Amino acid sequence: MSTSSRLSPIPSHPRYRPALGPPSLTEGGGAGPNLAPNGREAANSPAHRFGPPIGGQTESPGWQASLELGLSPWHGRTALTYRRQRGPLSVQRPFYPEGDVCHLYLLHPPGGVVGGDGLEIQINLEADARALVTTPGATKFYRSAGDRAHQFTTLRLGSHATLEWLPQENIHFTGVRASLKTRVELTPSSRFLGWECQCLGRPALGEGFDSGDLDCQFQLWLDDRPLLLERLRVTPHSRRGPAGLRGLPVTATLLATPAGAAELDWVRSQLDEALTSGVTLLDNLLVVRYLGDSTEECRNLFTRIWAGLRPPVLGLEPCPPRIWAT
């Protein structure tokens, strides 16, 4: 079952409430075994653009969910003007704690991802739209009995659009089999500030990552030119040694563009020599890395850097999402 809603940004719309932006969209529900009516991935789906999942599997018995969002400027603020969802993946009603910037919280009601599950997220920002997207908590990928879980995320920014992509960490339990692929598509005038964090096991509870197979890809594109193409393949054996993760459970990356030498120098001043972290400037793309054993330590570092980069990179003062304080 899927639900699709489109809200026309016209003041005479009978359900339009200017003080709140677009009205609430009808919630979708249910889930089926496939992401497309014909039982296979749609040709324009994020999964299709990335190619078939590892192992060639295109169908799965697990929960299949997709969420497509469209954001557009409307009456001095960014409005959620389109939403299409299928399965147990949804979004809360937009918040506007700082006026025109739309704050969105992505929700996955079952609370975790197991082998065979598939999630597709697509967020499209039209020209001049500004949005911050986060999650209320960590996403958990549980042990698999054999099937692989997939999460495909595509973020598209129009000209002069601004997006903050700030999901909380992904926690991968021992025995997981999962593929995570994120693609960000920018224009020369777009602004992007985001992060992704992977945690192997639950180190705070003494739970390690003794078995499993994790494949994480991240792509950042400017028009048709790749700015950053990364792939992290994690198995218990690949984690050992200086060329892997040194056996450490938490790895994360923060990206900001456009940025320059001033932002590079400031981030360097924020890095603690006691932490395994670093920063690089690739043209006008700032890349910050963390490798350690604490998601809290990583979150505190990246939140501080995000708050400091927000004014020069996005032209916005720090405004932490309210959900982070709960």
- Distances, alpha carbon 127 to alpha carbons 152, 161, 199, in Å: 23, 5, 34
Q: Mean pLDDT lowest for which of 39-53, 56-70, 140-154? A: 39-53
Give me the chain's average pLDDT, please: 83
Lowest mean pLDDT among 109-113, 120-124, 240-244, 307-311: 240-244
Judged against a pLDDT cut of 70, whether residue 230 lies above it is answered with: yes
pLDDT at 40 over 50: no
User: Which of the pair, 151 or 3, is modelled with greater confidence?
Assistant: 151
Indicate whether 239 pLDDT > 50: yes
pLDDT value at position 174? 93
Q: Which of 123, 61, 64, 139 is nearest to 91 (CA)?
A: 123
List, in sequence order, the alpha helices (H) in the chain: 46-50, 261-270, 295-309
31 — pLDDT class (breaks 50, 70, 90)? very low
If pLDDT is split at 50, 70 and 90, which confidence band does 109 have?
confident
Section 176-186 average pLDDT: 97
Give the β-pairing of 191-200 and 170-172.
parallel
From the list 14, 119, 18, 97, the residue with the least C-alpha distance to 324 is 97
Residue 273 pLDDT: 83
Tokens encoding 256: 């900001």
Greatest extent of the chain over all pairs of C-alpha atoms, in Å = 63
- As a whole number, mean pLDDT of residues 254-270 equals 97
Write the DSSP string, 257-269: ES--HHHHHHHHH
Is it the case that residue 301 has pLDDT exceeding 80? yes
pLDDT of residue 21: 36
Report, in angstroms and rounded to the nearest whole number, the Rg of the chain calculated over CA atoms. 19
Q: Is the CB of residue 63 less than 8 Å from the CB of residue 117?
A: yes
| Segment among 45-49, 175-179, 217-221, 255-259 with least mean pLDDT | 45-49
Question: Where does residue 228 fall: left (phi above 0), alpha (psi -120 to 50 degrees), or beta otherwise?
Answer: beta
Residue 217 confidence (pLDDT)? 97
